[in-house]
């Protein structure tokens, strides 16, 4: 019952979040829904056919065949849904001239994930080999689950990162506007950003969050004591462990949030002192943000007159939440206007109004 309720809540949240997107249309939504239903049905039929064909084969042959069918079928389903879910207005530029050198910004992050997953698989293999009795099968089962997720997620992540890298390369090769900053301008800008971040109260304050979590802890403890099985001592220990885990996660997040200004400032100092504006998005301070995407989109653009003078772009971003409805959060990007950059604002306003007709653009 609870998984069904969570699934319905998540579907409703996803629908409400998608309804806010400027790319939303009833026709595209119905088309995507039909593609999803047909893709899931096709995957189930393929799996059933694989089970039927290997029904009288040996266990290793059956498991290998089914694993291959599940991985390839899931990858194909994800690809079809991704292609069907991206409207024409949100298509990224991926065709590059022969002279363009492909950037590697987003794929580097996938390589880090690949190394971490490979290390985790190796740890599972070693621990499983050294563990006695039933513990060995538990560890090998966890390793098999990690392998399955790796085989499905890594190709999807890599292809998505490759598309973003190609789009960013095209942006840098043919931008609307390209600004470069002197070392003095960049230092002044990064120092101003640090001062603004330090003046802004952190979003996550531990004492305030504990007051909010007290209700969650009370409901969790009551639910475990009433509905869980086992002795009273086991249920109490389990409830305490869950509460401690949640508290630890919030405390670590609060610590990172308080140290975020210094960490972000260090990244700003190391990033390239330039900004690119193009058909697909904005690239500045080492971050690439799309104008129109399925999970992030531009809402407004204006001038921030606080010294040093900058452009303020406000986006909305859809944050996936596996335990409830998706959240829509605000995202701001500030871009320093260099000396002589005012002459580029008219073109930037014109291009943005064409690219994002539903956004509020006021740069001139």
Rg (CA), the chain: 25
Give me the pLDDT at residue 10, please.
54
Q: How many CA atoms lie within 13 A of 135 on its CB side?
A: 8
Which 8-state DSSP code applies to residue 344?
A: G
Three-point CA angle 302, 304, 316, nearest 5° = 50
| Residue 323, pLDDT above cutoff 60 | no
* Helices marked H in the chain: 2-20, 26-53, 59-85, 105-130, 134-173, 183-199, 206-227, 232-258, 260-270, 345-355
Rounded distance between C-alpha atoms, residue 54 and residue 157, angstroms? 31
- pLDDT level of residue 13 (50, 70, 90 thresholds): low
* Residue bearing the bigger pLDDT, 255 or 351: 351
Mean pLDDT (the chain, rounded): 84
- pLDDT level of residue 202 (50, 70, 90 thresholds): low
Token output for 91: 């298509």
Token output for 96: 């590059």
Give me the pLDDT at residue 166, please.
96
Query: How many angstroms from the chain centroid is the CA of residue 260?
Result: 19
Give the range among 32-41, 78-87, 91-100 with minimum mean pLDDT: 78-87
Give the range among 6-15, 145-154, 193-202, 325-334 with minimum mean pLDDT: 6-15
- pLDDT level of residue 1 (50, 70, 90 thresholds): very low
Q: Are 286 and 267 in contact (CB under 8 A)?
A: yes
| Residue 11, pLDDT above cutoff 70 | no
Give me the pLDDT at residue 137, please.
79
Which 8-state DSSP code applies to residue 342?
A: G
Beta strands 296-304; 360-362: pairing state: parallel
Which 8-state DSSP code applies to residue 102?
A: P
CA dihedral (223, 226, 231, 236) positive or negative: positive
Which residues 6+ apart lie within 8 Å of 228 measured at CB?
Answer: 235, 238
* Residue bearing the bigger pLDDT, 324 or 71: 71
The rounded percent of the chain whose pLDDT value lies above 70 is 90
- pLDDT level of residue 335 (50, 70, 90 thresholds): very high
Question: Once rounded to an integer, what is the mean pLDDT over residues 151-175?
Answer: 93
Count Cβ neighbours within 10 Å for each residue of 119-136 and write b for 16 or more, e otherwise: eebeebeebbeeeeeeee
Matching residue, tokens 């890594």: 154
For 283, other C-beta atoms within 10 Å of its C-beta total 24
């Amino acid at each position: 019952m609870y998984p069904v309720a969570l699934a319905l809540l998540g579907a409703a949240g996803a629908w409400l979040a998608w309804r806010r997107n400027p790319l939303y249309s009833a026709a595209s939504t119905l088309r995507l829904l039909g593609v999803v239903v047909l893709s899931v049905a096709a995957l189930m039929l393929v799996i059933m056919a694989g089970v039927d064909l290997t029904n009288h084969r040996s266990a290793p042959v059956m498991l290998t065949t089914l694993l291959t069918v599940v991985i390839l079928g899931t990858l194909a389903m994800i690809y079809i849904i991704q292609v069907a879910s991206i409207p024409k207005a949100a298509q990224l530029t991926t065709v590059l001239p022969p002279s363009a050198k492909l950037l590697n910004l987003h794929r580097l992050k996938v390589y880090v994930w690949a190394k971490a997953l490979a290390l985790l698989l190796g740890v599972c293999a070693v621990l499983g080999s050294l563990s006695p009795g039933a513990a060995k099968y538990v560890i090998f089962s966890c390793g098999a689950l990690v392998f399955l997720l790796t085989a499905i997620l890594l190709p999807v992540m890599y292809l998505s990162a490759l598309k973003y890298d190609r789009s960013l390369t095209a942006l840098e090769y043919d931008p609307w506007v390209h600004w470069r900053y002197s070392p003095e301008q960049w230092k002044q800008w990064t120092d101003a950003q640090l001062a603004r971040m330090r003046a802004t109260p952190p979003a996550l304050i531990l004492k305030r969050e504990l007051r909010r979590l007290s209700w969650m802890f009370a409901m969790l403890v009551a639910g475990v004591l009433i509905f869980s099985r086992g002795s009273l001592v086991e249920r109490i220990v389990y409830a305490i462990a869950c509460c401690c885990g949640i508290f630890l996660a919030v405390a670590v997040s609060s610590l990172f949030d308080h140290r975020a200004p210094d960490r972000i400032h260090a990244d700003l100092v190391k990033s390239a002192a330039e900004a690119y504006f193009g058909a697909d998005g904005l690239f500045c301070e080492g971050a690439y943000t799309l104008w129109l995407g399925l999970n992030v989109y531009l809402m407004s653009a204006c001038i921030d007159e606080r010294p040093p003078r900058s452009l303020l772009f406000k986006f909305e971003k859809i944050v996936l939440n596996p335990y409830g409805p998706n959240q829509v959060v605000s995202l701001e990007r500030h871009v320093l206007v260099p000396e002589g950059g005012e002459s580029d604002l008219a073109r930037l306003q014109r291009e943005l109004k064409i690219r994002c007709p539903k956004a509020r653009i006021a740069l001139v």
